[in-house]
């Protein structure tokens, strides 16, 4: 009797445990798996300050999609039209730190190691330490 080799088993990919940048990684191939609950509930919400910056003098100026957050561990990082970059506690929405930029910070942040990179509307790119110990200003 001739033995037939077993077909190779294809493992189902596991979703990443963090979303350090928009769509998960430089390849932009983030995905999720698993069942969805029948209903969703808001766990917490967070209100940022009012808009400020050169594009916000006009009604609806600077409005639009503000960018997506980066989520790493128990932290949520995002920029806001109020010119701040925020780091919130993922579990309860409390502010861990916030950093004031020079204009509306509406881009999607990217976290690489202990660095958070984000741009704002005056074309400045900021490199922040995720513990907010220092920043590097790239203009």
Domain positions in the chain: 54-138
**What is the pLDDT, as a whole number, of residue 82?**
85
* Residue 53, pLDDT above cutoff 80: no
Better-predicted residue by pLDDT, 63 or 8: 8
The Cα 10–Cα 13 span in angstroms is: 9
The predicted model scores a pTM of 0.72
- What pLDDT, in 10s, does the model give residues 105-120? 878 898 988 899 998 8
* Residue 34, pLDDT above cutoff 80: no
- What pLDDT, in 10s, does the model give residues 60-95? 555 555 678 898 999 999 998 888 999 999 999 999
> DSSP label at 14?
P
The Cα 136–Cα 129 span in angstroms is: 9
Q: Which residues pair with 76 in a beta bridge?
A: 71, 88
**What is the pLDDT, as a whole number, of residue 85?**
92
In this structure, which topology does domain 54-138 adopt according to CATH?
A: Thrombin, subunit H (2.40.10)
The Cα 119–Cα 22 span in angstroms is: 14
The Cα 95–Cα 79 span in angstroms is: 13
């Amino acid at each position: 009797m001739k033995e037939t080799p077993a077909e190779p088993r294809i493992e189902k990919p596991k979703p990443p445990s963090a979303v350090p940048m928009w769509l998960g990684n430089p390849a932009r191939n983030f995905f999720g798996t698993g069942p969805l609950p029948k209903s969703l509930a808001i766990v917490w919400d967070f209100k940022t300050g009012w808009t400020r910056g050169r594009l916000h003098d006009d009604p609806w100026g600077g409005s639009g999609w503000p960018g997506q957050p980066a989520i790493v561990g128990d932290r949520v990082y995002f920029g806001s039209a109020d010119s701040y970059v925020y780091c919130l506690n993922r579990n309860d929405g409390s502010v861990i730190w916030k950093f004031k930029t020079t204009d509306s910070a509406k881009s999607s942040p990217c976290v690489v190691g202990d660095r958070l990179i984000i741009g704002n509307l005056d074309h400045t790119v900021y490199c922040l330490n995720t513990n907010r110990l220092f920043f590097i200003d790239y203009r």
